[in-house]
Amino acid sequence: TMASLPTKMKGVIIEKTGGTEVLQYKTDLPVPSPGDGQVLVKNDYVGVNFIDTYFRTGLYPAPKYPYILGREAEGTVVKAGSGELYGLKEGDKVLMLSEGTYAEYTAANAVKAVKVKDGLEAKVGAAALLQGLTALTLIREAHPVKKGDWVLVHAAAGGTGLWLVQLLKAVGANIIGTASTQEKVDLARKAGAEHMINYSHEDVKSKVMELTKDAGCIAVFDGVGKTTFDLSLDCLARKGSMVSFGNASGAVPPVTIGRLSAKNARLMRPTLFNYIATREEFEHYVDELMDFITEDKLDARIHETYALSDVARAHNDLEGRKTTGKLLLDPSK
């Protein structure tokens, strides 16, 4: 067995909702103990996701206070709990989706943890898991994308955006992406979005209609939310799927369903967790994602690895649209 575990750890909690000032970096949080169906993981890298900012601001309610933020990490199992652990044991390198990952240690549900595939470089799993699975389930289930489909991806240079672009390219879609700066436009184009539009000053709808010969896109993947919703419907093809999967610019206001009849459109508002609710679904999509990463040589673009104590800057950068790709936290610092 491993050397004895410490009783205190570094971590970031919130006790109330608000701006980045409510993020409290602590060095004396209790190390959790793994319960039934759980493993205790010492986190090497922790993924930052836009959803973490929603829990901080209160757009999504935290289940309790004080609350440790964070939804994903890569690390090492240091203690096994009881019950069904899906074969995980002490010493295993794992990727996991779990609450409470903005910390040195997390008691994670084994059902949403998997061993790191041999040969996968450090950080890649933490950069890929939540956003890569989101992108993959969206193109497989929210709208099953086929070769040759015209699709529109907003915020194509973001974390989820770059996974969407790379996966859509791998399945042979015609990708139109949007982003707010020239640097982001160039990056997403390099990742596989052949047609990029700078939506801070270009007319997206007319460019989409020009590219698609007035047909529009059969699917729009919109994680921007409030500011792009109407535009996305405008860019949709007849019988197209409007996949609204996030709120980076704010929540989409209520929509009158009658608006969908103009194009016989489908409107989806999916979350990753409802596509990977069972162990079978989770393993299926993790395997498929890892196969894409290794076989199609998908690139986990890491914007920056921030010290955990620097978490406020990470949130400011993400919400301030200053980042491309993935933000990670190093919980040892």
Binding site for ligand NDP (CB under 6 A): 49-51, 130-131, 134, 155, 157-161, 179-180, 184, 223-224, 227, 245-249, 270-272, 318-319, 321, 323
CB 168 within 8 A of CB 154: no
Q: Of 39 and 241, which has the nearer Cβ to ligand NDP?
A: 241
Distance of closest approach, residue 292 Cβ to ligand NDP, in angstroms: 17
CB 151 within 8 A of CB 243: no
DSSP state at residue 178? E
Task: Name beta bridge partners: 128.
Answer: none
Q: Of 82 and 274, which has the nearer Cβ to ligand NDP?
A: 274
Instruction: Give the side-chain half-sphere CA count within 13 A for 36.
Output: 0
Distance of CA 307 to CAs 29, 34, 240, Å?
A: 17, 25, 43
Distance of closest approach, residue 187 Cβ to ligand NDP, in angstroms: 10
Q: Of 88 and 155, which has the nearer Cβ to ligand NDP?
A: 155
Quickly tell me which residue has 């779990």 as its tokens.
Answer: 98
Q: Which has the closest alpha carbon to 292: 160, 133, 76?
A: 133
Q: Of 80 and 220, which has the nearer Cβ to ligand NDP?
A: 220
Distance of closest approach, residue 261 Cβ to ligand NDP, in angstroms: 25
Q: Which has the closest alpha carbon to 233: 268, 199, 188?
A: 268
DSSP 85-119: -TT--TT-EEEEE-S--SBSEEEEEGGGEEEPPTT
Quickly tell me which residue has 């955990």 as its tokens.
Answer: 308
Q: Of 82 and 316, which has the nearer Cβ to ligand NDP?
A: 316
Alpha-carbon span 15 to 8, nearest angstrom:
19
Distance of closest approach, residue 133 Cβ to ligand NDP, in angstroms: 8
Distance of closest approach, residue 318 Cβ to ligand NDP, in angstroms: 6
**In the numeric block, which tokens belong to residue 25?**
């970096």
Parallel, antiparallel or unpaired: strands 105-109 and 174-179:
unpaired
Distance of CA 134 to CAs 37, 128, 140, Å?
A: 24, 10, 10
Distance of closest approach, residue 58 Cβ to ligand NDP, in angstroms: 15
Q: Of 63 and 119, which has the nearer Cβ to ligand NDP?
A: 63
Q: Of 13 and 318, which has the nearer Cβ to ligand NDP?
A: 318
Spell out the alpha helix ranges (H) of the chain: 50-57, 124-137, 159-170, 182-191, 204-211, 229-235, 279-295, 311-319
Distance of closest approach, residue 168 Cβ to ligand NDP, in angstroms: 15
Q: Of 223 and 240, which has the nearer Cβ to ligand NDP?
A: 223
Q: Of 158 and 240, which has the nearer Cβ to ligand NDP?
A: 158
Distance of closest approach, residue 51 Cβ to ligand NDP, in angstroms: 5
The SS3 of residue 244 is strand
Distance of closest approach, residue 33 Cβ to ligand NDP, in angstroms: 29
b/e for 264-280, b at 16 or more Cβ within 10 A?
ebeebebebeebbeeee
